[in-house]
Structure 1
């Protein structure tokens, strides 16, 4: 009998890639869960079980398997980039109470491993230092602004998972995520509760037209840029590894400067025969800089990033051409039409 993997938050971009990879492997029985945008018909055609789960509701977990569950992957949660306006209570209800309900499900049904996606905002105080941030870095968060309650709620969920490891032996794997680069047909997010386009998607859209591209602030400022398929790789390895436990940085361990980022987008996405003019805007604010240490992921999981910056752009371009997320975008549009 195949061991079961339960994926909470499977209808988002990260969950979609993860389900695709695990399904392709064929090693596990998958139960994929979402509270919205879950195209159940699509997954059922692939022979993948689905469940509509609102993790805030304890009774909802009665729809999930009760035995032989190897791991629960919790991507589900509320985050600022998906919140229109500002309702901080949703962070507490979903990220804390919801995580407690997930962990209780793990305890009651003897789940071996709990994998949780943590925001890298928990170590924001180490950004812009030029030093690689270790996976076991102490918390250094910003307690001002619209992200404060969010990261407080995520940290509380991490602490709950450690309690469940200490008292009940449920192995907790905490994956610290910076921005995960990926392609979906929609490119909007929310900044301070207002709709905006993701910066890297804006650059790509402009480059596809051959329009000028701007480099703001210091062009040498760099950050660790990781692709969704390397995120997926790390989750898969965390599920199977006997050594996985504690914090891991989902990253590459290498930094890419802003100039490299912008010129890379032009190289990959400019139409044939048209090159974007690169315009320097030193008077504009510089990007945030961060770099992450991934040595324990290499040692414990056998993780090795497969995509450098140009390779991830090339793969994103291919994903655009394949249109492989039509099933999710269809579900998303259906959900929004009912609101």
Structure 2
């Protein structure tokens, strides 16, 4: 019998990739997003799209309730997409929205949820090359633009754990390092201010042959997870017979030096390669790496994409423009 997955946040970066991936696996996919229109994107895959505000319980009446096997909940406000600051959005979408989703699942006997946790719940362990265990204590930072977001995510995870204990809803919590995808928008927000994503900046420099300077310690270790490896993990969560738990998402990391030279190799013209130099007196990147041994042992995960593999995948994905109808093109973000 065909399984049905209900994807919340389906118009977002990860939710869209999850929706298309499970459609290709043969699942019946129900796509849910906050946007009023998906511009007909999901109809191209014969996937129904529902516009739902998850902070409003009455909106869930729009959704079908029968025969759903699992929920992938990737909806909610993000610091990376928030111009300025409005902490109430985290309360509404992450805490209240998750509660409404859990209630919908309870009432309709949906047995499993997949939910992303913020990496910053273990930010107190950053700064080392020692892999951070999956079952490390969750602690929110008390300052910075991620504080209220992480507080809300921890509350949501605890709610999910409560529904597991009381109602038996299996839960697969995925602690996300940054999942590397292709999106036509090269910008993000830091402390509410618009900035270019660092990888996209270096890609642009490589393509134009302009010099690249590596700041600080080039051996700083940074976690890496290509979206294809992320989708492998989500698929394994969907198929798992376990009750779940909290799993780290990563691949073992790569150094800043490795990342920059891979970008140069993949994105630059062989006849116009940028010169890479070092400035050790500049501030070093914050390093961290996640321990993925639990993800491997319990889910059978094996990373397939190195950082250089991701760069090659990015080039191909940018050429294909699979999500242009949903997100536009790079010209729309200039």
TMscore range, shorter length: over 0.9
Partner of 1:197: 196
Residues 1:25 and 2:28 aligned together: no
Instruction: Name the structure 2 match of 1:282.
Output: 280
Give 1:172 shift.
1.1
C-alpha separation in 2, matches of 1:90 and 1:332: 27
1:6 and 2:14 matched: no
2:15 matched residue in structure 1 = 15
Native 8 Å contact 2:132 2:289 kept in 1: yes
CA-to-aligned-CA distance 1:2-54 (integer Å, 9 cap, x gap): 2210000111121121112111111x211011112752522113211110111
SS in 2 for 1:21: helix
Q: CA deviation at 1:129?
A: 2.1
Maintained 8 Å contact 2:78/2:149: yes
- Find the aligned partners of 1:233 and 1:258 in 2 and give their Cα distance: 25
- Residue 181 (structure 1) aligns with: 180
Q: Secondary structure at the match of 1:156?
A: helix
Q: In structure 2, how many angstroms separate the alpha carbons of the residues matched to 1:305 and 1:232?
A: 11
Structure 2 counterpart SS, 1:11: coil
Moved over 6 A (4+): 331-334
1:260 aligns with 2:261: no
Q: 1:36 to 1:283 in 2, by over 3 A?
A: farther
Q: Which residue of 2 aligns with 1:136?
A: 135
Give the secondary-structure state (helix, strand or coil) at the position aligned to 2:246: strand
In the alignment, the residues of structure 2 paired with residue 176 and residue 264 of structure 1 have an alpha-carbon distance, to the nearest angstrom, of 26
- CA shift digits 1:115-146 (9 cap, x unpaired): 11111000001111221111111123321122
- Partner-residue secondary structure (3-state), 1:10: coil
More displaced stretch, 235-244 vs 115-124: 235-244
For the Cα contact (< 8 Å) 2:184–2:329, is it kept in 1?
no
Partner of 1:88: 87
Q: Contact between 1:51 and 1:63, CA under 8 Å: does it hold in 2? A: yes
Residues 244 and 300 of structure 1 are in contact (CA less than 8 Å); yes or no, is this contact kept in structure 2?
A: no
C-alpha contact (below 8 Å) 2:40/2:325 kept by paired residues: no
Q: Distance in 1 between matches of 2:168 and 2:69?
A: 13
Indicate the residue corresponding to 1:113 in structure 2: 112
Aligned length: 333
Report the more deviating stretch, 43-52 or 153-162: 43-52
Q: Does 1:318 align with 2:316?
A: yes
Residue equivalent to 2:208: 209
**1:78-136 per-position Cα deviation (integer Å, ceiling 9, x unaligned):** 11111010111111111101110011111110111011111100000111122111111
Shift of 1:333: 10
Q: What are the Cα deviations for residues 293-321 of structure 1, in whole angstroms up to 9, with x where unaligned?
A: 11221122211111011111111111112
Following TM superposition, by how much is the alpha carbon of 1:211 offset from its aligned partner in structure 2, in angstroms?
A: 1.0
For 2:23 and 2:128, the matched residues in 1 are separated by 40
Distance 1:156 1:333 in 2: 38
In 1, Cα distance between the equivalents of 2:65 and 2:106? 11
Q: Give the Cα–Cα distance (whole angstroms) in 2 for the partners of residues 318 and 250 of structure 1.
A: 23
Query: Any idea what SS the aligned residue of 1:41 has?
Result: coil
* Distance (Å, rounded) in 2 between the aligned partners of 1:200 and 1:113: 35
CA distance in 2, matches of 1:54, 1:240: 28
Note if contact 1:72-1:114 (Cα within 8 Å) is conserved in structure 2.
Answer: yes
Instruction: Work out whether residues 6 and 71 of structure 2, in 8 Å CA contact, stay in contact via their aligned partners in 1.
Output: yes
